[in-house]
Amino acid sequence: MTICSIPGCEKAVHGRGWCKTHYGRWQRHGDPNGGQVYQPRPPVCVIDGCDKPVAARGWCHTHYKRWQTHGDPTIDLHAWNKLGLDGRWQGYLDLSTRTASGCLEWNGPRFDRGYGAFWDGERMWRAPRFAWTKAHGPIPEGLIVRHDCDNPPCVNLDHLRLGTHDDNMADRLERGWYLKDRQEQARLRESVEDGPACSVVLFQPSRPC
């Protein structure tokens, strides 16, 4: 790597033998060592009254984690924790979005494949599984909750039904999801082989309840 020609600077060359910083100074001031380089103030969280630096989505780390966990960056955690299990569940349902197809899409935290995530105080559930259990009781061993709508974030009970793993795989084949997954995996592999060196996770399995 060729480094900047300015003594004491070890940054990579950007243009005219200078790094991007010294090249920018030359562009603005006519001298790579001259002028005062403007240092913008780091952006702060957009939540009123919060002056912490932005971490993501315009929020600081604290408000971002609240949104990620509860679906609302301004949630009052003390009041939320006092709601109890039923109150917290209903709170998430109130935040969910009703689509034109009738799905009730979970807007709280989600697992990697889009399924809602709900903490009952002892363990983490997939939201559709918790919705079914809350409405109908324990799920018999060997059965899983399936979506008639093929929409993982959906928690509409009318779109959920029980079945076996084999039933679920048959649905995937019938609806073309198996082929879509294989095509996506092939695309990711090609991007690794043809593109720059990088790490790509082809599978992100999760084992929620």
Instruction: Report the candidate in 119, 113, 131, 127 with the shortest Cα–Cα distance to residue 184.
Output: 113
| pLDDT classification of 208: cutoffs 50, 70, 90 | very low
The pLDDT of residue 185: 52
- pLDDT at position 163 is 93
Residue 89 has what pLDDT?
A: 92
What would the pLDDT profile of 5-52 be if each residue is shown by its tens digit?
888 888 888 888 888 888 888 877 778 887 655 555 668 999 999 999
pLDDT at 112: 78
For domain 85-192, give the fold: Homing Intron 3 (I-Ppo) Encoded Endonuclease; Chain A (3.90.75)
Range 109-118, long-range pairs (CB < 8 A, 24+ positions): 109/68, 109/69, 109/70, 109/71, 110/153, 111/206, 111/208, 112/204, 112/206, 113/152, 113/204, 113/206, 114/152, 114/153, 115/152, 115/153, 115/208, 116/92, 116/153, 116/155, 117/208, 118/89, 118/92
Helix (H) or strand (E) holding 80: helix 77-81
Could you tell me the residue ranges of all domains in the chain?
A: 1-39, 43-82, 85-192
Does 195 score more than 80 pLDDT? no
Find the angle CA(205)-CA(125)-CA(72) to the nearest 5 degrees: 100
For 33-37, 64-68, 108-112, 144-148, which range has the lowest pLDDT when averaged over its residues? 33-37
Report pLDDT for 190: 57
Q: Kindly state the percentage of the chain with pLDDT values over 70.
A: 80
191/95: higher pLDDT: 95
**pLDDT tens digit sequence for 153-187:** 999 999 999 999 888 888 777 777 655 555 555 55
Q: How confident is the model at residue 134 (pLDDT cuts 50, 70, 90)?
A: very high
Range in 91-100, 161-170, 178-187, 188-197 with the lowest mean pLDDT: 188-197
